[in-house]
Amino acid sequence: MNERTVRQDGMVNSQGRTREQLTFAEIELEQPEQKRAEPFVVIPERGGREVDWGQNFRYVSRERQFVEQARELEWKGGEAAEFIPFHAYWPTYEQMQPGQLRWYLYWRGEVRSGRYPDTDLSYLFVYLYELIHGIGINEPAEGHEQMQRVWLAYRERYPKLDTYVREWLYDYGLVFGLHVQPLAPLQKLPRNLSAELKELEWKRRFTAEPLVLTWDMLRTMIDYDVEKSRFYTGQGRKDLQAYAPKVVALVDGYLSKSEDVRLLERFMPREKKVSRPLFRTAVYDHELYGRDVTVSVLPISTHLPLRSYITQLVRLTENKLRELSGFRGKLRGITAESSVEQLVARFLHKEFEQRKAKEARAFVPKVKINTSKLQRIQWESDEVRDMLTTEEQAPVSDESREETALPAKLSKAGKVPDPEQSESLQQAELDFERGWMEPGEVEHSEAAAGKTELPEEWREIFARLSAAHRKMLSALLDGGDAAVRLGIAEQAGSMPELLLDEINEIAMECIGDLLLDGDEIALEYREELRSLLS
């Protein structure tokens, strides 16, 4: 019992000490209490200023700020100022120093007046941003025209403008529904050109008359790497680049005449709708016209049937060029109509023959002068002049008689030509520009000169027709059959159909109409042709 009491007392004592220690610690750490200031609220008086939360606390984008500042400076002019360089990425008024702003306002006034002083590219972009938002113009067509003028005035110094302004002009026309004339065709499609503008350029090329394609454009429509061909890397590079686009245009014209359908109409792709963002890479407030617009696109460059056909035409052209150039080996697996294959073969054969003839003419002098004949004529002329002068100055003597007999001796010896030969030599000298003409050539030139009584367009046709063309027309007038026409064509190294097409092409250029209807001469032109060929 006593032990328990002692233990309890001990516990009590220990707890008491602990409490005392805790109490002592609290007294040591506790700070003196400070009175806190009571919070208060200021209640505004009734009838005070109302706050427009939508207006005063709205978010204003950087593009919107630019438009608001542009409205303030829209018609503000500027006096002549000093040019200060300005370079900024996505430039706006906020990035301009006061001197730069003065120069910009002065330069902008000059541009609006049709004068284009030299300036930095960033100033140009600020002005283009203004035109996109309709700043400083009265109607949309005026904005499009101003944008195009500024682009054409500065594009030579800043080629980078082509990348941006071409796209912005297209967007501007879409937004306002403008029907504007397209610019000059592109010789090469830039890599950063949008898909919509690329397809528009392809449509423009394939619908032109005649079809016009450059090698750089045609190469993107071919499904095989032509530049890795042994013929292309060797001797055929220039020929393939020159003739492949011409062959595609030739086949397009042939299909138009024979089937009344062109390449694009024969392989017409389906139109599709795409969403196009407006004024990309420009400081543009999308609240004005919207973020994007729906555009109809004709996917010509990705249409597989058209690409396959053009690929076959280029491969066929390469094979024919290999054959004409004497290159061993041919491409296999070419599928083309027999008529198209014959057309391409005739065309390339004719081009090679004309090139050979042109190269041959380049090594032949235009005028041939027979120096020995000229010296002989000069010597004979001097002899005759001396004899005539001697007869006038002195009486006739034995020596003069011998001199007088000299021309007769020379004539018998063959040194002095008779009158007919002298006349022909004088005629040759008169026709010095045409060279030494044979009698047959003189008659032909006189016959051509006799056609002056015909109308001018028929004289032009007569001048452009070759001998093979005239023979073919004469055969048609005389009712010659197919064998006769084939013989004439083979003599000329061509085919009857090709000669007839060439005659019609000349007629279209001269009189604007076809002379031949199939293998017959049109009735209304038979009399003119008879008088022309008579």
Paired strand residues for 272: 297
Per DSSP, the three-state class of 371 is: helix
Query: Quick one: pLDDT at residue 169?
Result: 94
Query: Quick one: pLDDT at residue 167?
Result: 94
Greater confidence, 405 or 86? Answer: 86
Confidence of residue 59 (pLDDT cuts 50, 70, 90): low
Q: Using the structure block, give the residue that is written with the tokens 């005759």.
A: 384
Contacts of 513 (CB under 8 A, 6+ apart): 507, 522, 525
Query: Quick one: pLDDT at residue 486?
Result: 84
Amino acid identity at 479 = G
Residues 350 and 386 sit within 8 Å (Cβ to Cβ): no
- Strand 292-297 and strand 516-517: pairing? unpaired
Q: Which of 42-46, 204-208, 272-276, 346-350 shows the lowest per-residue confidence on average (mean pLDDT)?
A: 42-46
- Whether the CA torsion 222, 227, 228, 230 is positive or negative: it is positive
| Of the ranges 48-52, 200-204, 375-379, 390-394, the best mean pLDDT one | 200-204
Mean pLDDT, rounded, of the chain: 79
Q: What are phi and psi for residue 455, nearest 5 degrees?
A: -60, 160
The 10s digit of each residue's pLDDT in 443-460 is 444 454 444 466 777 778
Contacts of 397 (CB under 8 A, 6+ apart): none
Please tell me the chain's helix, strand, coil percentages from 3-state DSSP, rounded to the nearest 5. 60, 5, 35
Alpha carbons within 13 A on the beta-carbon side of 507: 19
Alpha helices of 259-303 — where are they, by DSSP H? 263-266, 286-289
Please name which of 152, 39, 164, 23 lies closest in space to residue 91, comparing C-alpha atoms: 164
Mean pLDDT calculated for residue range 513-532: 78
Paired strand residues for 513: none
Query: Quick one: pLDDT at residue 366?
Result: 58
- Strand 272-277 and strand 516-517: pairing? unpaired
Residue 107: Cβ within 10 Å count: 23
Distance CA 238, CA 471 (A): 35
Please name which of 133, 80, 134, 132 lies closest in space to residue 108, comparing C-alpha atoms: 80
Burial class of residue 381 in the structure, from the number of CB atoms within 10 Å of its CB (0-12 exposed, 13-18 middle, 19+ buried): exposed
Query: Quick one: pLDDT at residue 309?
Result: 95
CA distances from 206 to 252, 337, 339, 387 (A): 9, 21, 22, 78
Q: Which two tokens stand for residue 147?
A: 């944008």
Please name which of 226, 217, 247, 229 lies closest in space to residue 320, comparing C-alpha atoms: 247
**Predicted confidence (pLDDT) at residue 390 exceeds the cutoff of 80:** no
Query: Quick one: pLDDT at residue 369?
Result: 67
Contacts of 6 (CB under 8 A, 6+ apart): none
Q: Which of 108-122, 218-232, 381-395, 452-466 shows the lowest per-residue confidence on average (mean pLDDT)?
A: 381-395
Q: Which of 155-164, 280-289, 521-530 shows the lowest per-residue confidence on average (mean pLDDT)?
A: 521-530
How many distinct helices (H) and strands (E) make up the chain?
24, 4
**Predicted confidence (pLDDT) at residue 431 exceeds the cutoff of 50:** no
Query: Quick one: pLDDT at residue 119?
Result: 96
Burial class of residue 182 in the structure, from the number of CB atoms within 10 Å of its CB (0-12 exposed, 13-18 middle, 19+ buried): exposed
Confidence of residue 124 (pLDDT cuts 50, 70, 90): very high
pTM for the model: 0.58
Per DSSP, the three-state class of 188 is: coil
The 10s digit of each residue's pLDDT in 60-89 is 788 999 999 999 999 998 789 999 999 998
Widest pairwise Cα distance in the chain: 200
Q: Which two tokens stand for residue 276?
A: 């196009």
Greater confidence, 331 or 385? Answer: 331
The beta strands (E) that lie in 209-298 are given as 272-277, 292-297
Per DSSP, the three-state class of 272 is: strand
Mean pLDDT calculated for residue range 146-175: 94
Q: Which of 107-116, 289-298, 323-332 shows the lowest per-residue confidence on average (mean pLDDT)?
A: 323-332
Residue 326: Cβ within 10 Å count: 7
Ramachandran assignment for 210, one of left (phi > 0), alpha (psi -120 to 50 degrees), beta (any other)? beta
Q: What are phi and psi for residue 198, nearest 5 degrees?
A: -65, -45
Query: Quick one: pLDDT at residue 190?
Result: 84
Q: Tell me 521's DSSP state.
A: E
